[in-house]
Amino acid sequence: MEDSYKDRTSLMKGAKDIAREVKKQTVKKVNQAVDRAQDEYTQRSYSRFQDEEDDDDYYPAGETYNGEANDDEGSSEATEGHDEDDEIYEGEYQGIPSMNQAKDSIVSVGQPKGDEYKDRQELESERRADEEELAQQYELIIQECGHGRFQWALFFVLGMALMADGVEVFVVGFVLPSAETDLCIPNSGSGWLGSIVYLGMMVGAFFWGGLADKVGRKQSLLICMSVNGFFAFLSSFVQGYGFFLFCRLLSGFGIGGAIPTVFSYFAEVLAREKRGEHLSWLCMFWMIGGIYASAMAWAIIPHYGWSFSMGSAYQFHSWRVFVIVCALPCVSSVVALTFMPESPRFLLEVGKHDEAWMILKLIHDTNMRARGQPEKVFTVNKIKTPKQIDELIEIESDTGTWYRRCFVRIRTELYGIWLTFMRCFNYPVRDNTIKLTIVWFTLSFGYYGLSVWFPDVIKHLQSDEYALLTRNVQRDKYANFSINFTMENQIHTGMEYDNGRFIGVKFKSVTFKDSVFKSCTFEDVTSLNTYFKNCTFIDTVFDNTDFEPYKFIDSEFKNCSFFHNKTGCQITFDDDYSAYWIYFVNFLGTLAVLPGNIVSALLMDRIGRLTMLGGSMVLSGISCFFLWFGTSESMMIGMLCLYNGLTISAWNSLDVVTVELYPTDRRHRVLPCCPGWS
């Protein structure tokens, strides 16, 4: 009984193996026949096309070929060269089918339609499905690649770019007091110098974010940082106020692409469980940029001896040296970026599968070698790539001129960037876009507004203290005198100076009101915040002075002479220690960000992004409210440090939330909104 059961089992097993092998061989032969038939079909089509061309060339116009068809030529070639086993096709060649016939035949056999028969909505729906599948697969691939040497190298390279952004923000506030004096900027025009960089950052973030989806994260970041470095360096040499504003505008336009591109670039090589923590650590470079700018301003700007001049028309003061030094992080980031690869996630989005696979393999091998596991193999062979939707661009290549073609290309690219931006306001991300825009605007308005405003606040508080020490001199007369010392914090009202000599005098915060200068001489005189209001000058000589016309307010000149007058505003920090104090205060305010950065990096993944964002904004808003009651320098400094330390956690969590809420092709559209709107 047992033997018969074993025999039946062996027989059934053998039968199944035979059936499996027959099925395998049948499928193989069918596939071979299909491939052979397709090749022969293509060959016959080409031969028929060639024969028709030969017939048209051989027979004159108006004549037709009326001969009978050769039976051999009309017979099917489908079975030519086939053996008996492969002879499964028969029938004669019917010619190339028309488009409608092909379409009907495809639909009739139940096969899916080709892309040429689908509208854009269907293609976009398929692309979204592919992107969702890619997102899941890509997360698994990044986890297999691990977190190690490659991510840390990219961390420091992108950190330099983020550091350059922080430097650019603080440069404006540090340069503003000195540039106002050096460039003769009136009080009504000083506001432009504080806001022009942010205007450029707003426009630049919109433009570079769109370009990053067209040419790649690396290329976009390289170009925008190069633009920033070039115009920041150029702005340190220009003399005119208008040209200086133009250079700072383009410098801000370049740096505007740093924040959206840096965070997207780094997030695309991080696994989700590592993303919150390491993006928060990356934000520390922005703080380091602020510390660097504060330290350089404190060490460079107050040193008037660092400046030089070429005649009276070209002045290169210490604040210009500071601007050059602040461009160094940008230059360093450009050099380092040239050695880093493109984002593999971006390459997959645009259909460049092989390039993305090579970079992912590079990430895997780099991390494995650093761990001491070089033998570990990258097991991924095929990665899902989203369906590519072609965009046709009509360009007059034959009849149009070169500038016309360039204009069409630029217009098309800008229109594509605009369409991508508008996708952020489509379902299902529209609500997120509106909410995040409000949060970005309010946070930027408070933080950047205080950064620009605070140096002037310290300056005005010090001016108020100087006003208490100002000595008022009224209704007095001086004759036949000579002065060669520094006059500071004085107001002279209704004075008469007769035959007086002001030789090598330094006027600091001195005002003359309703005074008369008769037969006086001003020689080698420098002035700072010095004005003559409603004064009269009779037979007076000005030799090698820096008295510009704007310093004489409603004044009258009778038989006066000006010799070797210094053009341009003169700036000096000799014996002026208030500048040291301003930059030191900003250094402390920037350094106060460090504890907030550490706390946000350690707690980001534990308490959640939104909890940290809401708590940080509430606490920083309360601390900002108490700035209203600040009446002394020490109180203002303490409240500023507290505000900076609390608000940095909101910045870090907002960066992470924005990156994670949007897909790869849209996260550049919302991150850009942050810097410029303040």
b/e code 295-306 from CB counts within 10 Å (16+ = b): bbbbebbbeeeb
Q: Residue 67 pLDDT > 50, yes or no? A: no
What confidence score (pLDDT) does residue 597 get?
82
* pLDDT digits 0-9 by tens, 441-478: 888 888 777 766 776 676 677 666 665 555 677 767 88
Weakest-pLDDT range from 294-308, 569-583, 638-652: 569-583
What confidence score (pLDDT) does residue 206 get?
79
Q: Residue 19 pLDDT > 60, yes or no? A: yes
**255-to-99, 115, 228, 278 alpha-carbon distances in Å:** 52, 40, 5, 22
- The pLDDT of 275-296, averaged and rounded, is 85
CA of residue 89 relative to chain centroid, distance = 61
What confidence score (pLDDT) does residue 185 get?
67
Question: For residue 587, what pLDDT band results from cuts at 50, 70 and 90?
Answer: confident
- The pLDDT of 5-9, averaged and rounded, is 56
3 class by beta-carbon count within 10 Å (0-12 exposed, 13-18 middle, 19+ buried): exposed
Non-local (6+) Cβ contacts of 435 within 8 A are none
* pLDDT digits 0-9 by tens, 393-418: 545 444 467 677 777 777 777 777 77
b/e code 353-374 from CB counts within 10 Å (16+ = b): eeebbebbeebbbbbbeeeeee
Q: Residue 517 pLDDT > 90, yes or no? A: yes
Q: Residue 15 pLDDT > 50, yes or no? A: yes
Task: Report which listed range, 14-23, 154-163, 645-654, is most confident.
Answer: 154-163
- The pLDDT of 517-539, averaged and rounded, is 91
Higher pLDDT, 132 or 496: 496
Non-local (6+) Cβ contacts of 175 within 8 A are 193, 301, 319, 322, 323
Q: Residue 222 pLDDT > 80, yes or no? A: yes
Q: By percentage, how much of the chain surpasses pLDDT 70?
A: 69
What confidence score (pLDDT) does residue 478 get?
86
Strand partners, 528: 508
Q: Residue 392 pLDDT > 80, yes or no? A: no
Q: Residue 526 pLDDT > 70, yes or no? A: yes
User: What's at 477, amino acid-wise?
Assistant: K
Domain 137-381+401-460+576-671, CATH: 1.20.1250.20
Task: Report which listed range, 54-58, 256-260, 392-396, 610-614, is most confident.
Answer: 610-614
Question: For residue 93, what pLDDT band results from cuts at 50, 70 and 90?
Answer: very low
Weakest-pLDDT range from 127-131, 527-531, 616-620: 127-131
Task: Report which listed range, 22-31, 454-463, 663-672, is most confident.
Answer: 454-463
Encode 381-411 in three state secondary structure: CCCCCCCCCCCCCCCCCCCCCHHHHHHHHHH
What confidence score (pLDDT) does residue 87 get?
41
Task: Report which listed range, 103-107, 542-546, 578-582, 628-632, is most confident.
Answer: 542-546
The mean pLDDT of the chain is: 75
Weakest-pLDDT range from 75-89, 197-211, 630-644: 75-89
What confidence score (pLDDT) does residue 20 get?
72
**186-to-189, 206, 214, 302, 569 alpha-carbon distances in Å:** 5, 32, 43, 21, 11
Question: For residue 65, what pLDDT band results from cuts at 50, 70 and 90?
Answer: very low
Domain 479-563 has CATH 3.30.70.270: no
Each domain of the chain, given as residue ranges in start order, spans 137-381+401-460+576-671, 479-563
Weakest-pLDDT range from 175-179, 313-317, 356-360: 313-317
